[in-house]
A and B are shown apart, each in its own frame.
Chain A
């Protein structure tokens, strides 16, 4: 069974995000970039399925400029077998990404697509669901457990009130939540080995997908900041403030 894992290069989650003064976006100049944390979990899950003898090949794909090869190499170092970069300088919306990925699905014919539930930059939480729609596959979103057996995948999903199990026919799309697994660290020998693993590059234009979006960003601003309040000295003072000043209890 082949598993396709789409991944995204994003700002490192430890970096303090700064909005540009001209409100055109977030300042990404000289900022540390990394593999999106949810994508890392997706790679780990695919590699574990391969180690368990369920998957035979793990293919990672990322869309973007040459810089995304860094994240593809990271995924290869974590255990993916080969990588595909779909090259474009455009910053694409989820729908355009899903359309490109649907073409990759048609080329590669994976039995399972595992991807992060959301990227920590755009916070869209859309690509997996859209890819599932475009390919007619079932979707197991926000997965905290994935079991493949008998031509089906059983996914435990983290939902608002608790957990839900669904069973999907293969091929299917699974999007990862945080508790699915704890990704490993790439060892130095594996990082060296990853440099020799195959990495193909294809132009985004070659897929015949309309890459323009009908959504434009008018401005990006910093959120309203909250003022620190007062430090109270006792529980009595706290209760008094809540009752008389804030009037919330």
Chain B
């Protein structure tokens, strides 16, 4: 049995999601081949070869894969996939974009957002925004899965897998990349951070999110937000933690001025330790928090920054 994992990267370095997807693949059992599809991406291929458990890196380097357009990447994966029983990608916006396209071209189902591998054909995934957990079994010849990064540990590095160059360059010629505006931040990414501090509607406006900066600096934390804060226009959507944003499971999650709507809880309730700071003692966030502090966040945040 062999498994094709598709790497998540930006042509320069590998995203932490890939380390977790490889971990999920290792629980299925079998040889793991890691596909790096990009352009001028040899540093990514080298990095991919260091992941423990990877038996071979497949490196497809072509301008048609530079922006990993779903139309092109799905043609590449479908071409390679004949020899595999499983195809695994991270349930990132990238994996969610191209992998269903692969599944449809293969005429098989996709199992989305897998949080546990029961066996080579049985998988666990949340439905209804995590309010129910489904165990599903697939009899498709090729199982196509996206896996939730927050549910798997990262594999170690130190491996030295062989890198095989793939010369297939597929251009579907129906889509083109125009531009990209990526949020620049010195902080860790939300899905990779060990500590996250998030603000909600209680922050009152976007400027007040600066109150989280000092604490985030001290804890090397990523800064997140609830959907309410995003919808109110305080901060951009890529900061959103929740069912419709990013699903995270850091060691420490600090929720500030967040009431704890189901929508938000679905994105962070698997965090190891949850701290809630809210002026409303009845806020549902306190029902999931390990430590709750009731009070005015504008008084608490500066004090917390000073004392940690």
B71 nearest CB neighbor, chain A only: A138
1/0 contact string of B100-116 vs chain A (CB within 8 Å): 11111101111111000
B127 engages A228 (CB within 8 Å): no
A93 at the A/B interface (Cβ < 8 Å)?
yes
A249 engages B175 (CB within 8 Å): no
Tell me which residues across on chain B come within 8 A of A190, comparing CB atoms: none
Interface size class of A (residues with CB under 8 A): 35 or more
A215 at the A/B interface (Cβ < 8 Å)?
yes
Interface pick from A58-66, A82-90, A152-160: A152-160
- Of residues 201 through 229 on chain A, the ones whose CB sits less than 8 Å from some CB of chain B are 213-223, 226, 228-229
Known: A123-B128, A215-B109, A223-B126. A160 touches B101 (CB 8 A): no
A149 at the A/B interface (Cβ < 8 Å)?
no
B104 engages A238 (CB within 8 Å): no
With most chain A CB atoms within 10 A of its CB, the pick from B92, B103, B108, B244 is B244
Interface pick from B80-88, B129-137, B156-164: B129-137
B100 engages A125 (CB within 8 Å): yes
A170 nearest CB neighbor, chain B only: B174
A17 engages B132 (CB within 8 Å): yes
A130 engages B101 (CB within 8 Å): yes
Min CB distance B281 to A, Å, is 8
**Interface residues, chain B, with chain A CB atoms under 8 Å away:** 67, 69-71, 74, 92-94, 96-105, 107-113, 122, 126-140, 172, 174-183, 189, 191, 195, 219, 227, 231, 236-238, 243-244, 246, 251-252, 269, 272-275, 281, 286-294, 300, 303-304, 307-308
Tell me which residues across on chain B come within 8 A of A234, comparing CB atoms: 293
A144 nearest CB neighbor, chain B only: B237
A26 engages B183 (CB within 8 Å): no
A160 engages B92 (CB within 8 Å): yes
